[in-house]
Structure 1
Amino acid sequence: MWSCTEHALRDHSVGHLTVVLQSPLQLALLRYQRFNWRAQQ
């Protein structure tokens, strides 16, 4: 029982961290791609 709860909590926190980290990363990637696209033209 305890291990199940622990796993669920860990999975949830990891998923939350991934979402929190993903947004700025995706924005940075978009900016980087736009910058590269401008530089190539």
Structure 2
Amino acid sequence: MKEIPYTIASFDNFLKEKKLMASKCQQCSALWLPPRPI
């Protein structure tokens, strides 16, 4: 999966495409919505 840096603009673009963007912890696979830098 392509890794896209989180910005407000990228989050808005995903919403316009009817997609959700989340951050995923590489250690425990937890998801955070809305995304945040980890």
What TM-score do the two structures reach when normalised by structure 1?
Answer: 0.29
Compare CA radii of gyration and give the structure with the larger one: 1
What TM-score do the two structures reach when normalised by structure 2?
Answer: 0.31
Relative contact order, higher structure (CA 8 A, sep 6+): 2
